[in-house]
Amino acid sequence: MLEGKNIILGITGGIAAYKSAMLLRLLVKAGAQVQVVITPNGKEFITPVTLSALSGRPVISEFFTANSGEWHSHVDLGLWADAMIVAPATASTLAKMATGVADNMLVTTYLSSKCPVFVAPAMDLDMMAHPSTTRNLATLRADGVRIIEAASGELASHLTGKGRMEEPEKIVAVLDAFFDGCGSRRLEDRKVLISAGPTRERIDPVRYIGNFSTGKMGYAIARRAAAEGAEVTLVSGPVGISIDDPAVNVVAVESAREMLAACEDAFADADIAIMAAAVADYAPAECAGRKIKREHCDFDEIKLVKNPDIAATLGSRKRPGQILVGFALETDNAAEHAAEKLVRKHLDMIVVNSLADAGAGFGTDTNKISIQYADGRPDGIFDLKSKDEVAADIIDAITRL
């Protein structure tokens, strides 16, 4: 799918820049036209001569060529490109991209780009785990930048941990899958309902019962469905992320009952419903009108009542031709519990993940899933991937139904 695509390859000043030569070679081999934009520090790690030879194009680093005064237009570059990938993306460059510090050609080009942007972070594990890096990545993700997660392994410091730039072959596969999905628009004219995030069940005006869901998986599915041409209704519990896509209508809710009402409303016209939310199973029987003061509290237990099962409710009303997808997050016997839910809730497909798998579950940027089908086809089993990649796998499985 990269044949004929115009790609900006941004290279920054990190030891992983040596991998950029292989990434460039693979992109060109796949038929892409690649323009390298390198930061001044990046040239300390890999030479423009090497990159120019591989791309067949002069490498851009400065705003203008010193000996001729030729201006390099970041605006024209941004309009030319079908995609931009920054690999490696150092902590410094991520910070500049997140805050709009346009002090080099690469960041200025990013700020002018109209195309999808991908970043492949690479840095030492302490920098990777630092709150500022986490915050900057969250900002970029909220701005629509697609993060190709760093891998774990031995780093330049000889420490071992997360911070290695993903391998060039996998980066090319991510780009290829992106263009494959955008090109096919397999959900054109389809209405897709997606639930995401947690629900909160109020105890009093300041306390609630909930769970650790962040909504990342459901939001990733919504982005992918929209990229495939769907008209998406995203019923979202309280989360700290957002989505900026005119094809996605976000309906914000708090409690399980509010989520049920919103899902029932959207389900009537939906072709596909994907229940990715982590709905609280129980709610307090009563919500106090005022904050319960510990000093004056005269009870030592909270009476709970069962919340409605949203997926099962929709499953009981599913019309012929509708596709209903459920999720099962388990801690043990994941496959068995999921198989039971698949039947009981009248699902067409269930996505299964387990908290026993490292990197899966709540709050992570990655997930590891398997998929079970009601029609008896073999289970799909997938490796640990970024949630954007997992979303692509889920949408791909749905379209095959």
The CA distances from residue 288 to 244, 253, 255, 291, in Å, are: 36, 20, 15, 7
**Torsions phi, psi of 263, nearest 5?**
-70, -40
Catalytic residue among 6, 67, 211, 367: 211
Cα of 111 vs its chain's centroid, Å: 21
Q: Measuring CA to CA, which residue among 262, 142, 269 is closest to residue 196?
A: 262
Total residues found in the chain within this entry: 401
Q: Confirm whether 307 is a catalytic residue.
A: no
Query: Using the 8-state DSSP alphabet, how is residue 71 labeled?
Result: B
In terms of DSSP H, where are the helices of 81-208?
A: 91-99, 105-112, 125-129, 131-142, 168-184
Note every long-range contact of 112-116, with CB atoms under 8 Å and residues 24 or more positions apart, other chains counting.
Answer: 112/74, 112/75, 112/77, 112/78, 113/8, 113/77, 113/78, 113/81, 113/84, 114/78, 114/79, 115/8, 115/78, 115/81, 115/82, 115/83, 115/84, 116/82, 116/83, 116/84, 116/144, 116/146, 116/178
E strands, 190-285, where?
A: 191-196, 201-204, 207-209, 231-236, 248-252, 272-275, 282-284
Q: Measuring CA to CA, which residue among 207, 209, 291 is closest to residue 256?
A: 209
Q: What share of the chain is helix, strand, coil (3-state, %, to 5)?
A: 35, 25, 40
Residues marked active site are found at: 211
